């Protein structure tokens, strides 16, 4: 990860002046969805880039040490070695950007990765994920415990009530406290955009979260009815761009929830390249939150190498 976003004092005047042109956002989103996707070796290259930006995730009620271990092994070797060798990419260190789990599974993930001599970071959701409706004291303690167990990235969720009721100063104070509780760990702030109501609220929540010191802003928990969509992403990355132009601080972006196909992954990368530039095409500033996406990417790479699609038993499960 690059240098942290130190944040800034809350600028309520800036927040109050925010207006989002909904029709312009929707028109731009249509352009993004309609863009032509690269083919053949260019598509394969984009897909390997996407693999390196994935936060490989398991957030299920039936998570156990064994399936967290399996997830970690898949993160270390996300694409079959023989496929990478055919592409002359076997020695390029292709691995996922991080492993993302619940706080109670952080120690399991750290143990598995350490035993495999891997430096892949462990990310943990926290702060009453996914609803964020537990007391502030509990949410702060959850962050501290995850960091103590070895998490180096924390995905916090904002209190949507504060955003919906326009209590931006209170939201800033909460996120600032989460940032302090993270200590050395990088903080990704989940806005849960499907529950914020309007694009203007999404932009304001993005702005306030960055002012409070978020290193990344993230669309969704993956548990809402609406998760990562292109219109919402455009609003959020434009907020990132404005914040960068105002402060000189680069903040990362993480779409999460509902991203399942290789083609979608390439479109997300293209969106980042067009809106924010090549610097945002690295795991330091862009992540894809996904659990099933990697399986489809590996199937597409298998097709590129062999000319046919793999049966499900031919590829190791994440």
- The Cα 294–Cα 103 span in angstroms is 23
Contact 82, 89 (CB under 8 A): no
Chain position carrying tokens 């032509």: 36
Measured at the alpha carbon of residue 182, what is the angle toward residues 117 and 143, in degrees to the nearest 5? Answer: 90
136-148 vs 168-182: helix axis angle to the nearest 10? 30
Q: Which of 74, 108, 254, 296 is catalytic?
A: 254
Measured at the alpha carbon of residue 161, what is the angle toward residues 155 and 165, in degrees to the nearest 5? Answer: 130
Sign of CA dihedral 107, 113, 119, 123: negative
How far from 84 is each of 91, 94, 101, 265, CA to CA, in Å?
A: 8, 9, 27, 19
Q: Which of 155, 188, 215, 296 is catalytic?
A: 155
Strand partners, 188: 155, 216
- The Cα 157–Cα 223 span in angstroms is 12
Active site annotation includes 218: yes
Active site annotation includes 82: no
Contact 115, 107 (CB under 8 A): no
Where on the phi/psi map is residue 40: left (φ > 0), alpha (ψ -120 to 50), or beta? left
Q: Which of 74, 188, 204, 218 is catalytic?
A: 218
- The Cα 202–Cα 192 span in angstroms is 9
Strand partners, 186: 153
Active site annotation includes 254: yes
Q: 210: part of which helix (H) or strand (E)?
A: helix 199-211
Q: Is 170 helix (H, G, I), strand (E, B) or coil?
A: helix
Active site residues: 155, 218, 254
């Amino acid at each position: 990860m690059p240098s942290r976003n130190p944040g800034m004092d809350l600028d309520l005047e800036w927040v109050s002046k925010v207006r989002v042109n909904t029709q312009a956002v929707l028109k731009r989103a249509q352009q993004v969805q309609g863009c032509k996707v690269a083919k053949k070796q260019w598509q394969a290259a984009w897909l390997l880039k996407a693999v390196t930006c994935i936060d490989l995730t398991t957030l299920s009620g039936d998570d156990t040490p064994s399936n967290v271990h399996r997830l970690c092994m898949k993160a270390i070797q996300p694409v079959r070695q023989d496929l990478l060798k055919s592409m002359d990419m076997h020695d390029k260190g292709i691995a996922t950007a991080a492993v993302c789990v619940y706080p109670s599974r952080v120690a399991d993930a750290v143990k598995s990765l350490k035993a495999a001599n891997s430096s892949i970071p462990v990310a943990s959701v926290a702060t009453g994920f996914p609803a964020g409706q537990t007391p502030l004291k509990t949410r702060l303690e959850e962050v501290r415990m995850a960091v103590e167990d070895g998490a180096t990235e924390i995905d916090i969720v904002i209190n949507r009530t504060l955003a919906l009721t326009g209590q931006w100063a209170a939201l800033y104070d909460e996120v600032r406290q989460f940032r302090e509780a993270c200590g050395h760990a990088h903080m990704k702030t989940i806005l849960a955009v499907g529950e914020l109501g309007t694009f203007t609220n999404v932009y304001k929540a993005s702005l306030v979260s960055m002012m409070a010191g978020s290193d990344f802003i993230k669309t969704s928990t993956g548990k809402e009815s609406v998760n990562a969509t292109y219109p919402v992403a455009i609003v959020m990355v434009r907020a990132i761009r404005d914040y960068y132009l105002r402060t000189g601080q680069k903040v990362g972006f993480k779409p999460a929830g509902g991203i399942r196909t290789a083609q979608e992954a390439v479109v997300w990368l293209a969106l980042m390249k067009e809106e924010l530039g090549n610097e945002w095409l690295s795991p330091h500033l862009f992540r894809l939150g996904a659990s099933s996406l990697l399986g489809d990417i590996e199937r597409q790479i298998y097709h590129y190498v062999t000319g046919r699609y793999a049966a499900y038993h031919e590829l190791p499960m994440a």
